[in-house]
A and B are shown apart, each in its own frame.
Chain A
């Protein structure tokens, strides 16, 4: 078990199993098929992301450095939340990028259930966490990995 202290962007408590992307997470490419074709598990559609491709994202603790790609990214993330196809939480090793932040904040203010979002967890977090590990997030941005 190891604990990491991050900064809560959207504070909250949750527990989920880790899903890890070591490279940038392309929000549009990852969610487009799932939203378009009604995939309730939201399997990642980004063929360029070998870590995540075809893996279900719903209900996971998505661990990533930052998001990349189209400036529609924030909207797509908001849509995923509103349609309940989102990860339980998003955990960023780096400072959150503007597109992901837009999506997380839009979901917090406009969708029914906010998605817990923590950033600045550090590279060590991303090096340590592996798919399937149990993640617990506290209100203050403490992330426990076991």
Chain B
């Protein structure tokens, strides 16, 4: 077979089976995939660790598990350790008998065997299940300029934008293949040209915009393009400190799920914008102005998917993507304060905060853990999206402050202060 891409002798040898049939097929997949996007060559994966999107042992994915078996049997395992998205199950998260039965016996019946496959393929450890692998507590933090083979849209957009790493928006399996051969096709967000902004977003709000709504508005407008955002540094500063990173984590997840953004630049803040300024903007870039009215318009257009639009919420999720340590502390303080103000001891809606296992572990060593537990909030490592990805949850009135969860499920979006108000007030 002839390939259009310029391949090295080593890459050609692998294609010709020098490292076995499984490795040859892995390389062939990446080459054909890259050629469809005009990639001219393969480039080395430079990060220490990878990140995979598929964490769930969903029965429906049996062919994927068969493929994983072929990789393991053929010795085609990852050259780098990797983290993976959060698990879909946690017995501490509220679920009724029927839900538990369906989750464990039908939907996720392959979970244990898939976890074992991930271990064999290169999973860091059993605490590495999170969508926020870039948290310091987790430790999968790529350096600026490093080429990655990651998937998980919220992690990819964070790594590209906030850390300045280089990664395309990969599909599941493709990202694992890149970690196996240690190379990815050179196209899109891996290239200098692909990182140029084709949109200028001018933020002209009168107050700090809600990260999840601003991200949603920008995502829906620019789709898969790269935006250069002006005026946001006025509200979130010019330092990438913990609060700002948490804001950008939530903002980016919304751009990636409500649209298909893989990289954004924020003037005076994100590394490439600081370094290169407006030279990152392509000639003829389109302009999108975001003011208070635009954000209100965007939020007002979110459909409410509940059958009874006035139903009392049965569950609340906060933490999609997973919360940072500082966000957990802030939410704990706010819930405690809100309950006190309203004369309550426990939250009025069953509420789950989610964070990476390593963040949960660190949080549990602080005095805040007992405070949070006393409010009745459950702290979990679960993936809310996977939890809700079944017909039973579609009928449940679930509320969230996550625009990603809203987009992919029937959950209803509220701003963070509205969520706080709902869960700390007497239920209707």
The residue that A110 contacts in the complex, of B25, B61, B170, B224, with Cβ under 8 A, is B25
Q: Could you tell me the distance between the alpha carbons of A140 and B63 in the complex, rounded to whole angstroms?
A: 30
Contact, CB under 8 Å: B59 / A79? no
Q: Could you tell me the distance between the alpha carbons of A103 and B168 in the complex, rounded to whole angstroms?
A: 16
Q: Nearest Cβ in chain B — how far from A89, in angstroms?
A: 16
Contact, CB under 8 Å: A105 / B32? yes
Q: Nearest Cβ in chain A — how far from B128, in angstroms?
A: 18
Q: B35-69 vs A: 1/0 string, CB under 8 Å?
A: 01100000000000000011000011111101100
Q: Which of A13-21, A93-101, A124-132 contacts B (4 or more CB under 8 A)?
A: A93-101
* Contact of A54 with B by CB under 8 A: no
CB-based A-B contact count at 8 angstroms: 87
* Contact of B172 with A by CB under 8 A: yes
* A110 touching B29 in the complex, CB below 8 Å, given contacts A75-B54, A82-B63: yes
Contact, CB under 8 Å: A72 / B53? yes
Q: Could you tell me the distance between the alpha carbons of A32 and B37 in the complex, rounded to whole angstroms?
A: 27
* Contact of B183 with A by CB under 8 A: no
A99 contact set on B, CB distance < 8 A: 171
Chain B contacts with A in 242-278, Cβ cutoff 8 A: 260
Contact, CB under 8 Å: A98 / B37? yes
Q: Could you tell me the distance between the alpha carbons of A101 and B173 in the complex, rounded to whole angstroms?
A: 12
Q: A87-121 vs B: 1/0 string, CB under 8 Å?
A: 00000000011110111011011110000000100
Contact, CB under 8 Å: B151 / A71? yes
A106 contact set on B, CB distance < 8 A: 29, 173-174
Count of B interface residues, CB-CB < 8 Å: 33
Contact, CB under 8 Å: B173 / A98? no
B151 contact set on A, CB distance < 8 A: 71
Q: Nearest Cβ in chain B — how far from A38, in angstroms?
A: 10
Q: Could you tell me the distance between the alpha carbons of A103 and B63 in the complex, rounded to whole angstroms?
A: 12
* Contact of B153 with A by CB under 8 A: yes
B63 contact set on A, CB distance < 8 A: 78-79, 81-83, 111
Contacts from B to A (Cβ < 8 Å): 25, 28-29, 32-33, 36-37, 53-54, 59-64, 66-67, 70, 107, 151-153, 168-174, 188, 224, 260, 408
Interchain Cβ contacts under 8 Å between A and B, 17 examples = A9-B36, A69-B408, A71-B170, A75-B61, A78-B67, A79-B60, A82-B66, A97-B260, A98-B37, A98-B168, A98-B188, A101-B36, A102-B33, A102-B172, A106-B173, A106-B174, A109-B29
